[in-house]
Chains A and B, each alone.
Chain A
Amino acid sequence: SSELTQDPAVSVALGQTVRITCQGDSLRSYYPSWYQQRPGQAPVLVLYGRNKRPSGIPDRFSGSSSGSTASLTITGAQAEDEADYYCNSRDNSGNHYVFGAGTQVTVL
C-alpha cells in the first residue's frame, strides 16, 4: 500500500466544490504535487509547492496543507474536471518519491 492515502472516489455536482485529500506522514515536512489524469492521457501537473498552479491551470484549483493531510480543492467544478487525481511527495524516509493511489472525481 502507498505511504500516501487518498479516497478512491468522490463525486461533485456541476458548479459545486469538491475537496480531494492526501494523507501521509511525509506531508508534515514536504508539500505534495497534484496531477490530473483524464482517460487515455498522460498526467498533467495542476498544483505544486505551497498552492502554486502551473501556467494554464484554472484558478478554481487550489491547495492547502495541515499536519499530515494535504488537500486539492476544485471550486466550481466543471465537466472537464472529471478525471483521476494523484498526489505525489517524498516517502517516509524522505529519500524517494511516492504517489497516492489516486482519487476518481465524477462531476454530476
Chain B
Amino acid sequence: QVQLQQWGAGLLKSSETLSLTCAVYGGSFSDYYWSWIRQPPGKGLEWIGEINHSGSTNYNPSLKSRVTISVDTSKNQFSLKLSSVTAADTAVYYCARGVPTVTSMYLNYWGQGILVTVSS
C-alpha cells in the first residue's frame, strides 16, 4: 500500500520561506511524478508543480519565480520550498503521486495535507 506522509512548519510570517517534505512509503519511487497542490481555506485546488526521480521539474507559471521542488531518492522523499510568502499563500498543502500518460495525468495517492498559515 502506498502512503505519503508530509510534514513541515505550519505557521510562518510574511516574507519567510515555506518548507515542506513528503515521504513516500511503498511502491516505486522512480516510475512517477511527485506533485504539490494547495488549497486556500474555502477555495479550490491549485497545482503548484511536480518533480520526477531524476530531478526534472515542472512548475505552475504563476508561482515559478518563488517555487523550488527537490527530490531525495535515497530517502524516497521530495520537498517544496516557497519563498517570500504572504497571507495569500495560506492554504492546505498536499503532496501527491502523479501518473503521467500520453493523454492524461492523474494523482492517485495523496498526503494528508498540512495547513500552512502566514501571518503578517
Contact B104 A48 (CB under 8 A): yes
**For the side of the interface on A, what is the size category?**
20 to 34
Any chain B CB within 8 A of the CB of A61?
A: no
For A35, give its contact among B45, B46, B105, B111 (CB under 8 Å): B45
Q: Assess whether A24 is interfacial by the CB under 8 Å rule.
A: no
Q: Report how far A95 CA is from B105 CA in the complex, Å.
A: 12
- Count of chain B residues with Cβ under 8 Å from any Cβ of A? 23
Q: Is the interface of B mostly helix, strand, loop or mixed?
A: strand
Contacts of A50 in B (CB 8 A): 103
| CB pair B104 A32 closer than 8 Å | yes
User: Residue on B with the closest CB to A49?
Assistant: B104
A97-B45 CB under 8 A given contacts A35-B107, A48-B106, A49-B104: no
* Nearest-CB residue, chain B, relative to A43: B110
Q: B residues 43-100 with Cβ under 8 Å of A? A: 44-47, 50, 58-61, 94, 99
User: Sorted from nearest, which 8 A-B pairs have the closest CB atoms?
Assistant: A48-B106, A33-B106, A31-B104, A99-B45, A42-B110, A97-B47, A102-B44, A101-B44
